[in-house]
Structure 1
């Protein structure tokens, strides 16, 4: 597997890339090659007197390369120019990445509504599964919030094809997973909806749980009622998983500006990591 790791050479991205436990988790799910990518924003002029931004970025990537190679990975580095989330998606497609990793310090009051950060833009537009690695906020030398990326997973499902695609990620995540909590939220519009006999949400969760238990993953299930995003976040607070696993419906014109989807809310507001699985890439 190939992973794209995005970095702006900040303390937050350094915490993600240089954490030995996080690197070990990536190795356990099958990652063998890491593409380190940094993007020089298009509004930074290459001809700024006395400053060679691309050379500085390359020196920073070389430092990270040594750490990641020492952990046993093959490493390729990329310094590119343009809009960060667009260039990261371009490179992910070019190198046939299996997932992307980006560090995020989390939310601010403004970010709860208006999308501004690279992590939030990637969450709306990513072409491959995206791991948002949550980093401590408001400290000079931050660390990751959850070192073991996939040890304890909270999987949120509405039984859609998008959720089914996210569940399929367990086929490789399971190699680093010890425990899983499967959650379905019945919203008010679901109450009274019909369904086939014997296939209610509890039974459908139990069926998925049996699959994980056959893989040696200790699994529990929970059916909640209420607003999906709020209930999933409440479940995260109660369970404190390493990562919330959720499927995405993909891009829309509205979500290019505002985070309105359940998956967008989870990326924006979750305390720990989020693993977001998008629709398949167009061929």
Structure 2
């Protein structure tokens, strides 16, 4: 598997990239190549007196590269200029990546409603699964909030086709997952899931599949606002990562992320793994 790892070369990014446990988790799920990408935004001028931004970034990436190669990965580095999320997505498509990874400082002090613009734009536009890697806020020496990325997964499903696609990520996540919580939120007045069986039965069928991979599985059926209840389930079960599908309702998916997915990315305490719909060719 190939993964694009986007970094802004901050102390927070360094904590994520150089955390041995995090790298081990990526190796367990089959990642063999890491493509480190840092983007010099268009509004940072190459001719800033006395500063060569691209040279400084290449030097920093070489230090990261050595650490990651020592952990057993093949590494490529890219210093590019442009709009960060567009360049990161472009490289992911160019190398046919299996996933992208971006660090996020987590909950915002502004009522937990804001996340970094690059993270938000990647969540809305990524055409490959995106891991939002949560990093501590308000500290000079930040660490990952959850170093064992996939050890305890919370999977939220509305039984849609894209939720099913997100569930299939367990085919590789299972090599690093020990516990899984399966969550479905029933909205009052809404129709039931498509297909046969009630939610409890359908979650039980999914649980059987995961238990075949020797996971400990918990089922949690809730009622209310999907985003609020999924976040409440995260608080209750304390997963290391929440797995969701981002559901595209129209061709405007690249501009509009489903409100549930966006709320989870913005407000989850731990990591979030977003699986987009299949590409339309």
Matched, 1:175 2:175: yes
Q: What's the RMSD between the two structures over aligned residues?
A: 2.0
Matched residue SS, 1:237: helix
Counterpart of 1:12? Answer: 12
Is the 2:246–2:274 Cα contact (8 Å) retained in structure 1?
Answer: yes
Counterpart of 2:131? Answer: 131
Counterpart of 1:34? Answer: 34
Is the 1:115–1:121 Cα contact (8 Å) retained in structure 2?
Answer: no
Deviation at 1:113, TM superposition (A): 5.0
Matched residue SS, 2:142: coil
Post-superposition Cα deviations, 1:220-273, rounded to whole Å, max 9, x if no partner, equal: 11110000000000000010001000000148759847x661011100000000
The structure-2 alpha-carbon separation of the partners of 1:66 and 1:120, relative to structure 1 and needing over 3 Å to count, comes to: same
Matched residue SS, 2:149: coil
Matched residue SS, 1:189: coil
Counterpart of 1:44? Answer: 44
Matched, 1:224 2:222: yes
- 1:217-256 equivalence runs, <5 A: 217-250=215-248, 256=255
Counterpart of 1:55? Answer: 55
Matched, 1:276 2:274: yes
**How many angstroms apart in 2 are the aligned matches of 1:265 and 1:194?**
23
**How many angstroms apart in 1 are the aligned matches of 2:116 and 2:28?**
32
Which one of 178, 192, 205 corresponds to residue 207 of structure 1?
205
User: Which residues of structure 1 form unaligned runs of 5+?
Assistant: none
The number of residue pairs the alignment matches comes to 280
**How many angstroms apart in 1 are the aligned matches of 2:118 and 2:111?**
12
Deviation at 1:143, TM superposition (A): 0.2
The structure-2 alpha-carbon separation of the partners of 1:226 and 1:44, relative to structure 1 and needing over 3 Å to count, comes to: same
Matched residue SS, 2:140: coil
Deviation at 1:194, TM superposition (A): 5.7
Deviation at 1:217, TM superposition (A): 0.8
TM normalised by structure 2 equals 0.94
Is the 1:155–1:167 Cα contact (8 Å) retained in structure 2?
Answer: yes
**How many angstroms apart in 1 are the aligned matches of 2:194 and 2:51?**
66
The structure-2 alpha-carbon separation of the partners of 1:116 and 1:241, relative to structure 1 and needing over 3 Å to count, comes to: closer
Matched, 1:117 2:117: yes
**How many angstroms apart in 2 are the aligned matches of 1:195 and 1:39?**
42
Deviation at 1:50, TM superposition (A): 1.2
User: Which residues of structure 2 form unaligned runs of 5+?
Assistant: none
Post-superposition Cα deviations, 1:60-119, rounded to whole Å, max 9, x if no partner, equal: 000000000000000000000001011100000001110001110013255855665211
